[in-house]
């Protein structure tokens, strides 16, 4: 039976992945490519998922996608939605996660949304197709989409894609394809490549010439540990004026502007008194926040990844950063140490802080700053702090993954009525 306009349904919200949500006679369904307020006809329903036949009446926040690849490329799920509406939705996601933890008095969030063309980190796949290289992101559960346009990437990274296709096509070690991660460091693009063949001297020669021609000081092979394929100049980056040498594939906040917003939220909410007791920083990485924090107090910086720790340690000389190598899930910093700190700052991975949270709850540090990249993990990790009596003093939401469902937040928590334990 053909659909008619009378059968159109209203999209009422977005799900966690950014797909529109509607109620049908068969139950709730999620519809990619829709926004709240859209009246739509569905082409097909399978369980809780549906495909869009057409928009009958567009919702107030629907816009024309700025990139012609938006329907195919797997990188931007929400280019059909106005950026202010996306920022409001992401803020609401974080607030709802905090409400589910039990916080009732949530401060008005400060918000920051980065500008387009600012992404400096990207993971791409490449495939040999019809005697050429296709380089880009995977469409949903599909093949690689050639990235011939991008409104997210820094122009310096996007300009590199065309010559990168050519050099990958010329490599004998590329059979069917592989993957490449690119970090835009202060020294230039840093490439970490996974190949489906074994690179020989000829591959290395080709990559070295490519690096010299395009200002790429280092090209590495993804392995355990990574292997340098071509090194044509010094590799470096700066965090708050401190020069570090990030390992291949190092974690960077995805946008420089987003990193600055997170740093400002953390530094702006440090306690005004008692910093002589020092700061404990968990999941310090290569020092994204460490050196900024060290301008205010001594920082005991814990990191579990050996390569990131080595980078941090090498750069920490002459600063107040004291790095320590520690797997925080297997060997968390203990409650007694946390209790003596002026503040605990943590920026855990996507899965959250795991076993470390139990020690934070037991130690009851007066001041905790939690940087999150996952509202689900945020809810799980902060629930025990709320139950222990912590108050949420400040909330900052940062949208640096434009047109995606990803969102960052900075939560500042305090425990009223605590006093600093005496040193023995």
The residues annotated as belonging to the active site are: 373
How far, rounded to the nearest angstrom, does the alpha carbon of residue 330 sit from its chain's CA centroid?
Answer: 24
Q: Are strands 321-325 and 299-303 parallel, antiparallel or unpaired?
A: parallel
DSSP state of 246: P
> Alpha helices, DSSP H only, in 198-321?
201-214, 256-267, 290-293, 306-315
Give dist(CA 287, CA 407) in Å, integer: 21
Residue 108 token pair: 């008005």
Cα diameter, the chain: 80
What own/partner pairs with CB < 8 Å and gap ≥ 24 does 230-233 have? 230/204, 232/208, 233/187, 233/188
153: nearest Cα among 232, 215, 69: 69
Q: Which segments of 279-407 are extended strands (E)?
A: 279-282, 299-303, 321-325, 343-346, 367-372, 391-399
How far, rounded to the nearest angstrom, does the alpha carbon of residue 111 sit from its chain's CA centroid?
Answer: 16
């Amino acid at each position: 039976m053909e659909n008619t306009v009378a059968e159109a349904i209203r999209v009422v919200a977005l799900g966690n992945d950014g797909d529109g949500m509607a109620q049908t006679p068969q139950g709730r369904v999620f519809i990619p490519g829709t926004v709240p307020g859209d009246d739509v006809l569905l082409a097909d329903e399978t369980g809780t998922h549906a495909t869009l036949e057409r928009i009958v009446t567009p919702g107030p926040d629907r816009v024309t996608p700025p990139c012609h690849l938006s329907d195919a490329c797997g990188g931007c799920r929400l280019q059909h939605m106005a950026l202010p509406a996306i920022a409001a939705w992401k803020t609401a996601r974080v607030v709802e996660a905090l409400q589910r933890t039990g916080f009732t008095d949530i401060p008005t969030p400060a918000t920051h949304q980065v500008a387009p063309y600012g992404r400096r980190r990207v993971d791409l796949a490449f495939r040999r197709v019809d005697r050429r290289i296709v380089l880009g992101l995977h469409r949903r559960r599909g093949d690689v989409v050639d990235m011939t346009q991008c409104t997210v990437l820094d122009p310096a990274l996007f300009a590199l894609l065309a010559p990168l296709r050519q050099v990958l096509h010329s490599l004998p070690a590329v059979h069917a394809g592989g993957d490449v991660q690119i970090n835009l460091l202060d020294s230039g693009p840093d490439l970490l490549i996974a190949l489906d063949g074994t690179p020989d001297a000829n591959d290395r020669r080709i990559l070295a010439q490519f690096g010299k021609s395009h200002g790429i000081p280092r090209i590495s092979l993804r392995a355990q540990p990574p292997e340098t394929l071509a090194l044509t100049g010094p590799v470096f980056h700066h965090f708050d004026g401190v020069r570090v040498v990030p390992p291949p594939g190092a974690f960077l906040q995805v946008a420089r502007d987003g990193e600055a917003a997170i740093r400002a939220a953390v530094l702006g909410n440090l306690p005004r008194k008692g910093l002589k007791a020092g700061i404990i920083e968990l999941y310090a990485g290569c020092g994204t926040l460490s050196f900024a924090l060290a301008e205010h107090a001594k920082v005991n910086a814990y990191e579990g990844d050996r390569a990131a720790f080595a980078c941090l340690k090498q750069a920490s000389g002459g600063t107040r950063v004291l790095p320590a190598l520690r797997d925080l899930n297997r060997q968390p910093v203990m409650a007694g140490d946390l209790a003596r700190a002026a503040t605990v700052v943590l920026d855990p991975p996507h899965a959250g802080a795991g076993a470390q949270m139990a020690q934070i709850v037991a130690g009851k540090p007066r001041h905790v700053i939690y940087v999150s990249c996952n509202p689900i993990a945020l809810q799980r990790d902060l629930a025990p702090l709320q139950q222990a009596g912590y108050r949420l003093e400040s909330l900052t939401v940062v949208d640096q993954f434009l047109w995606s469902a990803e969102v960052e937040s900075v939560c500042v928590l305090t425990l009223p009525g605590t006093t600093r334990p005496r040193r023995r």
